[in-house]
Amino acid sequence: MSKLEKILALVRSINQDEFQEQLTHGDSLDDVYEELLFLAEKIDSKKKRTAVIVEQISNCFAGDFFNYLPISDAHDELDVFCMGFNTYIEELKAAMVSKKLVETINEKLVEEKERTEKLTLSRDQFLSNISHEIRTPLNGILGFTDLLLNSPVLGSEEKSQLEYIRMSGDILLVIINDILDLAKMEAKQTVFSNKPFQISQLTRVVQETFLTKFQQKQIDFKISIDEELPTVLNGDSVRITQILFNLINNSIKLTPEKGKIRLKIKFKDEEDDFYVVKFVISDSGKGIAEDKLAEVFNPFVQLSDDADSGLGLTIVRKIVYLMKGDIQVKSQPANGTKFIITLPFSKNDYYFSVSKSFIDKKPSDKKTNTKDRSTRILLAEDNRINQVLVQKLLSKFNMECVVVANGQLAVDAVIAEDFDVIIMDLMMPVMNGYEAASAIRNLKNHTKKNIPIVALSAVVTSTVTNACKAVGINQYISKPFDSAELHAVIVALIGNE
């Protein structure tokens, strides 16, 4: 063995012993250079780290007891020493608790509180932005689909295809709600609607949505509805769809090919103000192990080898509890799973809760009858698709709709012309909906400053509804919206005027 090879072997052994690394595998002079360069850099790094450690320890002896020694990524003996020293510092802290330390902790708590508040605001802003970006185009899809469905010139096949588009859009909205609503539920910001809906139509939508999956796995799916159950229930049909969608989707995950899934809707009880309805979703699938049942409503719990709970079951339980209902799960491995949900449904027969007092009574003032005169609506909306959609919807009710693309133009239009109602998007360029509403409420003209304003926005957080009230917006409707709901609000506001 040559001297060069001996030197190379020696350097490599040092690097291997000290640093568990060997850079080269040849026996040339270049290999010696690379190994020596690596060794020199490591030694220099150790020297610098040692100097820092000595300085920190010196500061400690000088009275600055609470400095930690740095831990590197090398995980060598210096790091072992530093970890031991830091443990000693921790013990020293525990023995030397003082007023100054308590004050420092209090200051940190204040800083943490401020940071948490900022994070909450950031989260709300994120939810607002993502809600706006997703719901705005979805509003156009669902709105124009409804317009086409009401067209008398379409054939049955075209209408059937449009119904599938509408159903898919509704389910997409449910999935979006799964993501957005979880954060809102945690923050207790969820608001439930109370509108009449047909349970048979709702279950048909759910069944047809999963039809392809049922066919792919040859699953026998059947629905049974008690004859005693009222044909029309009052409640939040979107949330009920969300519950059924998530539970049936979960059953499909757990059910093997040629299995069975059953949805039974039972009339359980009748109270003074409520109908109590029981929903039972059962399957012949793999079942859930007993030790997993207690965690089944937690996010992303592994229910079987190839299925987890995702967010769906977590959201289902939160919705059920917020609706003052109850949910139970029964399951055994290889014997299937059964979810039992009990929910109350109000007997109150109203369509839009905010406008109930007006809608329930027959209009006597000619101004409230939109067929007798053309109601002038100012729409402030920057999205072209939504502009066209709202114009077409309002034209069906004999309402004239003037469109502007931002809040500043809306303020200018109010000053220059007369309108009965303003429909205001919240997120617009130049001047947003809040700023525009505030500017209108500060006009000198008494009539113009009191024009009813409806916020029509894809932003759905509770902070937004509170902000709307603060700037004088009368009503809030979220996108995607129902045309009848929008019409009812407009008529109610004109009637109140």
- Domain end, chosen from 155, 186, 217, is at 186
Q: Are 341 and 199 within one domain?
A: yes
**What does the pLDDT read at residue 357?**
35
Residue type, 189: Q
**What does the pLDDT read at residue 383?**
86
- Domain end, chosen from 80, 95, 110, is at 95
pTM of the predicted protein model: 0.46
Q: Are 239 and 177 within one domain?
A: no
Residue by residue, pLDDT tens for the chain (497 residues) are: 677 777 878 877 776 666 666 677 777 888 878 878 877 877 887 888 888 888 877 877 666 766 777 887 777 777 788 888 888 777 777 766 666 667 778 888 888 888 877 776 676 667 667 666 777 777 778 888 888 887 778 888 887 788 778 777 776 776 676 666 666 666 555 667 788 888 888 888 888 878 888 988 999 999 999 988 888 899 888 889 889 988 998 888 888 899 999 999 999 888 888 899 999 999 998 888 887 788 888 876 666 666 666 677 888 888 898 899 999 999 888 788 999 999 999 886 433 333 333 333 333 343 444 344 578 999 999 888 888 889 888 988 889 999 999 999 999 999 999 999 999 998 889 999 999 999 999 999 988 999 999 998 876 666 777 889 899 999 988 877 878 888 889 988 887 55
**What does the pLDDT read at residue 362?**
37
Q: Are 401 and 479 within one domain?
A: yes
**What does the pLDDT read at residue 405?**
93
Split into its structural domains, the chain has a count of 4
DSSP 203: H
Domain membership flag for residue 358? no
- Domain end, chosen from 95, 116, 150, is at 95
Q: Are 273 and 243 within one domain?
A: yes
List of residues 6+ apart from 177 with CB closer than 8 A? 238, 242
Q: Are 178 and 206 within one domain?
A: no
Q: Are 60 and 153 within one domain?
A: no
What are the strands, taking DSSP E only, across 271-351?
274-283, 302-304, 307-308, 326-331, 337-346
Domain membership flag for residue 359? no
Q: Are 339 and 228 within one domain?
A: yes
Q: Are 170 and 202 within one domain?
A: no
Q: Residue 234 maps to which CATH number?
A: 3.30.565.10
Q: Which helix (H) or strand (E) holds 234?
A: strand 232-235
Q: Are 372 and 265 within one domain?
A: no
Domain membership flag for residue 65? yes
Give the residue carrying structure tokens 């699953």.
219
Helix and strand counts by DSSP (H, E) for the chain: 17, 14
CA–CA gap between residue 291 and residue 184 (Å, rounded): 30
DSSP 150: T
- Both tokens of 352, joined, read 């839009």
Domain membership flag for residue 444? yes
Q: Which helix (H) or strand (E) holds 422?
A: strand 421-424
CA–CA gap between residue 318 and residue 335 (Å, rounded): 26
Q: Are 318 and 202 within one domain?
A: yes
Q: Residue 410 maps to which CATH number?
A: 3.40.50.2300
Q: Are 27 and 70 within one domain?
A: yes
**What does the pLDDT read at residue 26?**
77
Domain membership flag for residue 102? no
Q: Could you tell me the residue range of the domain that residue 383 belongs to?
A: 364-496
Q: Are 335 and 281 within one domain?
A: yes
Domain membership flag for residue 330? yes
Helix, strand, coil percentages in the chain from 3-state DSSP, rounded to 5: 55, 15, 30
